[in-house]
Homo-oligomer: A and B are copies of this chain.
Amino acid sequence: MQKVFTMSKDVVPSGSFDVQDLKFDSAGLIPCIAQDADNGEVLMMAWMNSESVVRTLETGRVTYWSRSRQSFWVKGESSGHVQTLVDFRLDCDQDCLLALVHQEGAACHTHRRSCFYTAVRDGEKTELMTPMTD
């Protein structure tokens, strides 16, 4: 369960979830933002197809669709940097997903905790994080 943000005391059931209600793009994909469930840090954004969504919900292991490899991508399967699903959210238009996760180690392939380690300030790119040394 999410611990970072204040929510309504009463959560309201609003019907069964059907993966086909999601709005996938012309390639059959939907963006999924991964957020650290403990501190709210945005870790990465990647893509899911309908089967990725189903597998993520069924296994609790966040599973993307790799557009470059055209295959399922169980996050951390090779690196060990697993994302365990804590809560799964949809946006109002059902065309974007938010996965709250427990992230093992680095989310980024550069070994930084988050992929969003570059800021643009006064026209300059600035690196905010160094690679993790675990």
Q: Residues of A with Cβ closer than 8 Å to B?
A: 2, 4-5, 7-8, 11-17, 31, 33, 35, 39-42, 44-45, 57, 87-93, 96, 98, 108-110, 112, 115-121, 123-130
Contact = CB atoms under 8 A, between A and B. Distances in A.
B120 A93 contact: no
Contacts of A7: 128-129
A106 B2 CA distance: 20
A87 B45 contact: no
A42 B101 CA distance: 13
Contacts of A15: 124-125
B96 A45 contact: yes
B87 A121 contact: yes
